[in-house]
Structures are given as C-alpha cells and as structure tokens.
C-alpha cells in the first residue's frame, strides 16, 4: 500500500504536466500588425506592406515565414531579412504582396524555430482586382447605351391590341409569367446553393441571372422554330413591364439571403437607380409610338436584329476584353450555365402541355421561360457590386448566355433534317404521279410477265 494514497495520483498528474508547462512557456506569444491593414492590389502587380511583430519569447535565430489562404489569388515574399539576430520584443520588416488573380484572401506571418513552427496572431486581408482600362470603360458605357436603346425598342414594339387579345385568354401568358417570375428565380436560388455551397459570390451571379426578364432573342427563336410569335411578343411585353416590379421585389426579399451569405450589402440605391434608368427609355419608346409613329415603326423593324446584335456584342465583347473569365470556368460553372435555361425550357413546355396548350403556344412559352436577358444581369452585376465581386460573378450569366442556344440549335437542325427527308419523299411521290400512263408498269402486268417467262 502506498502511504500517500490517493495523493500519489495527483503528484503523478502534476509531474506529467510539468514538461507541457515548460514547453508552453517556451512558445512565443506574438502579434503581427500591418501597415496598411488592408491591401488592394491589381492582378500581376505588387504592393509593399510594413509588418511589425511584437511580443515575448523571441530568440536569436528565430525566423518568420509567409502564407496565404489561397496562393492562386495572392502570394507574399519578404523584401527584407526575416531572421532575428538578437533578442528583442519587437521586430519589423517589409512584405511584397503580389496579386495573381481576382478574389479575396488573407496573408499570415508564421514563426519558425528550427524544425518547429509557432503561430503569429492577426492576418492581412488582401483584395485582388483588375486595373480599370479604357476598354473596360468603353464596354460598360456601350452596354449601358445599347440596353437603353433596346428598351426604347421594347416601348415602340408594345402592340397594345395584341396584348389585350392575349389578356382576354390569359392562360398562355399566365403560364409564362409563372415560369419567368416564379420558377426561374426559385430554381436559380436553389441551384446556387446546390452547385456553389461554399462560394456565395457565384450564387449571387446565378440569382441575378434568374430574376432578369426574358431575353429579346426569345421572339427570334420562337419565329425560327415555328412557335406562336404573337404570343411570344405579348409575353415579352408583359415580362418587360412586370420585371420592373418583380425583379426589385426578388432582390430586396430573397436576394438579401444571398447578399448576406456573400458578405455584401444590398445596394438598394444602385438597384433602384438601375430600374429607373430602364423605365425612362421604355417611356421614351411609348411616347414615340404616339408622337413619331414612323420612327417607332422603324425601331420595331430593327428590334429582332438589334436584340441579336446586342446579345452577341455583350458576349463577344465581354469575352475579348475579359479573357480571364475562362480561367473561372469549372464544371460547376458549366452546369450552372446549362441548368438555368435548360430547366426553364423543360418546365415551361411541360406546364403548358399539362394545361392543354397547343404545341406552337407551348413552344413559345418554353422559349420565353428559358431565355434570360443576360445582358441586363451582366450590367446589373457590374453596376451594383464592387470589385472584385463584380468581375467574379459575371462568369455565371456569360456561361448561361453560351449554353442558352444549344437546345434550340439542336431542335432547328432536327427540323431542317426532318424537312429535307419529308421534301425528298414528297418529290419522289410527285415524280411518280407525273409519269405517263403508257410508261407506268402496273404490278399485275409485271406478275403476268414473270409467269409467262417461267412457262
């Protein structure tokens, strides 16, 4: 029996803790301070930051290393010596921060003593943006100008008698509005959380794309594929009008969840200014219908071509001026680009057929639901957000714009092949019908000739 039982258990426990206590006393307790305390650097550029490490426990021979949470965005290197040569309670140095790619990351200092490492508290936030170039200003200004012009065209193209006729039997437009302003925002919101669970900026790009009104190219594709063009035009007009109320409503309600997850404040003033900026050209178009009908008619004639040109211009110009965007393309971005329009096509057509709409109407509803005005979403993202979020989120509507025409192009090719086959069969039938009676060989005559030959 131990004479000090059970006190020996306490003594053994204290003896085991002594080495740990000695080790903890040997580890320095350090804090890093940076000047400035936030760095914003352009891609492929440098920025110098002064750092001071203070605390207790530093010894000669200790050194400091640098690390970033995401080396793809930014890296740091010492621009001065980073090893202590004497005992001190404060050490100062200089860091050169290099911006590699768009985004945000944190840079930290780490202490080293031989093979062991010890932490240094505090980190430096680093924001990497693109330099503002002349071509970027030209792009933003030209897109703003073209979007304003196309909304003037929309105002000129609003044919109120057609809209009234459709409103009398509003089943088709009602299906389209449910798909456009209910299904598309909700599916973009849900897909954002499913595809980008850890990148709220991309979810924001998806949501902005989902709440945008229908694209002007829907009328063109409806006409090409044989859908109900009058229904498509009426739905485009109604979609444009309702978007001024529904789009801000989504952004100010469900959009706040996305903004909060992305740590971005809801830009109420910018969004309101954007909506007012679209209402003004729409009002100009409506006024042109009344006061300058000839000019309004001309604007309507160029609407389809102008809408297509605008979409192509935005996509091509955005790609040419921002080639970095393809570095952001991942399988998630591609799936997001396919998911928003393709699911819209399927939902619109399925719901229309379930509600017994004819094929031509269902096709128009499907196209109107699936095609989003990515030009508006790109412009809204660039206008509403600061850098680098504005550039990062643009990749989603660009991906949607690239993936949108693929199903309709496939349908168009199929229709052309089917039409060629049908025309060839019809041509053969016409040739047979035009053959003179004297040159025709009836089947029974052929059979009799075969019997006679055999005999």
Mean pLDDT, the chain, whole residue set: 78
Mean pLDDT of 90-94: 85
Of 311, 307, 288, nearest in space to 298 by CA: 288
Does an H or E element contain 44, and which? none
Low-confidence winner among 160-169, 216-225, 287-296, 372-381 (lowest mean pLDDT): 160-169
% the chain with pLDDT above 70: 76
Whole-structure pTM over 0.85, yes or no? no
Question: Which residues make Cβ contacts (< 8 Å) with residue 144, sequence separation at least 6?
Answer: 379
Beta bridge pairs of residue 372: 214
Residue 161 has pLDDT above 80, yes or no: no
The whole-number pLDDT of residue 23 equals: 43
Domains and CATH numbers, the chain: 31-129 (2.60.40.10), 134-415 (1.20.1530.20)
Residue 276 has pLDDT above 80, yes or no: no
Of 342, 317, 315, 324, nearest in space to 409 by CA: 342
- Residue in this structure with the two tokens 């091509």, named with its chain if needed: 316
147 pLDDT band, cuts 50/70/90, is confident
The whole-number pLDDT of residue 15 equals: 57
Distance (Å, rounded) from C-alpha 449 to C-alpha 455? 10
The whole-number pLDDT of residue 270 equals: 59
Low-confidence winner among 68-82, 89-103, 128-142, 144-158 (lowest mean pLDDT): 144-158
Distance (Å, rounded) from C-alpha 223 to C-alpha 240? 19
The whole-number pLDDT of residue 345 equals: 92
Low-confidence winner among 73-77, 152-156, 201-205 (lowest mean pLDDT): 152-156
Omega cis (within 30) before 230: no
Alpha carbon separation from 363 to 99, 352, 358, 360 (Å, rounded): 48, 9, 9, 5
- Collapsed DSSP state (helix, strand, coil) of residue 269: helix
97 pLDDT band, cuts 50/70/90, is very high
The pLDDT tens digits for 5-47 are 665 556 665 555 555 444 444 556 788 889 998 999 998 899 9
Distance (Å, rounded) from C-alpha 378 to C-alpha 266? 17
The whole-number pLDDT of residue 453 equals: 53
53 pLDDT band, cuts 50/70/90, is confident
Distance (Å, rounded) from C-alpha 437 to C-alpha 162? 53
Residue 236 has pLDDT above 60, yes or no: yes
Does an H or E element contain 48, and which? strand 46-56
Give 67 or 146, the one with higher predicted confidence.
Answer: 67
197 pLDDT band, cuts 50/70/90, is confident
Quick one: tokens of 122?
């505090």
The pLDDT tens digits for 79-89 are 876 777 777 77
The answer to whether residues 324 and 411 touch, using CB atoms and an 8 Å cutoff, is no
Dihedral (Cα; 256, 259, 260, 261), 10-degree rounding: 130
* CA–centroid distance for 450 within its chain: 72
The whole-number pLDDT of residue 24 equals: 45
- Collapsed DSSP state (helix, strand, coil) of residue 69: coil
The answer to whether residues 59 and 30 touch, using CB atoms and an 8 Å cutoff, is no
Mean pLDDT of 171-176: 84
Give 186 or 327, the one with higher predicted confidence.
Answer: 186
125 pLDDT band, cuts 50/70/90, is very high
Residue 75 has pLDDT above 80, yes or no: yes
């Amino acid at each position: 029996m131990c004479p000090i039982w059970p006190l020996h258990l306490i003594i053994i426990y204290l003896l085991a803790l002594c080495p740990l206590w000695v080790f903890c006393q040997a580890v320095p307790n350090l804090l890093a301070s940076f000047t400035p305390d936030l760095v914003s650097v352009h891609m492929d550029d440098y920025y110098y930051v002064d750092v001071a490490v203070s605390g207790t426990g530093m010894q000669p021979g200790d050194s400091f290393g640098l690390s970033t949470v995401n080396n793809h965005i930014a890296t740091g290197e010492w621009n001065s010596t980073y090893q202590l040569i004497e005992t001190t309670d404060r050490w100062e140095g200089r860091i050169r921060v290099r911006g590699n790619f768009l985004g945000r990351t944190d840079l930290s200092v780490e202490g080293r003593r031989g093979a062991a490492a010890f932490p240094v508290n505090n980190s430096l936030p680093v924001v990497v943006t693109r330099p503002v170039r002349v071509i970027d200003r030209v792009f933003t200004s030209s897109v703003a100008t073209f979007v304003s012009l196309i909304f003037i065209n929309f105002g000129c193209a609003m044919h109120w008698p057609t809209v009234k006729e459709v409103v009398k039997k509003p089943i088709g437009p009602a299906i389209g509005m449910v798909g456009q302003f209910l299904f598309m925002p909700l599916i973009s919101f849900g897909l954002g959380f499913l595809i980008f669970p850890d990148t709220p900026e991309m979810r924001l790009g998806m949501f902005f794309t989902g709440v945008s009104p229908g694209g002007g190219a829907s009328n063109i594709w409806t006409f090409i594929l044989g859908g109900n063009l009058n229904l498509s035009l009426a739905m485009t007009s109604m979609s444009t009008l309702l978007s001024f109320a529904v789009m801000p409503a989504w952004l100010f309600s469900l959009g706040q969840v996305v903004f909060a997850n992305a740590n971005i404040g809801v830009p109420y003033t910018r969004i309101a200014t954007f909506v007012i900026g679209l209402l003004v050209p729409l009002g100009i178009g409506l006024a042109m219908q009344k006061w300058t009908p000839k000019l309004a008619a001309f604007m309507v004639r160029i609407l389809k071509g102008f809408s297509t040109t605008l979409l192509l211009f935005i996509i091509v110009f955005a790609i040419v001026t921002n080639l970095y965007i393809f570095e952001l393309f991942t399988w998630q971005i591609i799936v997001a680009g396919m998911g928003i329009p393709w699911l819209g096509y399927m939902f619109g057509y399925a719901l229309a057929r379930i509600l017994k709409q004819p094929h031509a109407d269902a096709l128009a509803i499907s196209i109107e639901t699936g095609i989003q005005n990515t030009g508006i979403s790109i412009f809204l993202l660039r206008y509403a957000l600061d850098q680098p979020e504005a550039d990062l989120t643009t990749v989603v509507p660009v991906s949607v714009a690239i993936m949108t025409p693929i199903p309709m192009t496939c349908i168009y090719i199929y229709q052309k092949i089917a039409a060629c086959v049908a025309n060839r069969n019809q041509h053969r039938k016409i040739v047979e019908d035009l053959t003179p009676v004297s040159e025709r060989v009836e089947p029974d005559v052929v059979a009799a000739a075969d019997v006679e030959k055999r005999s």
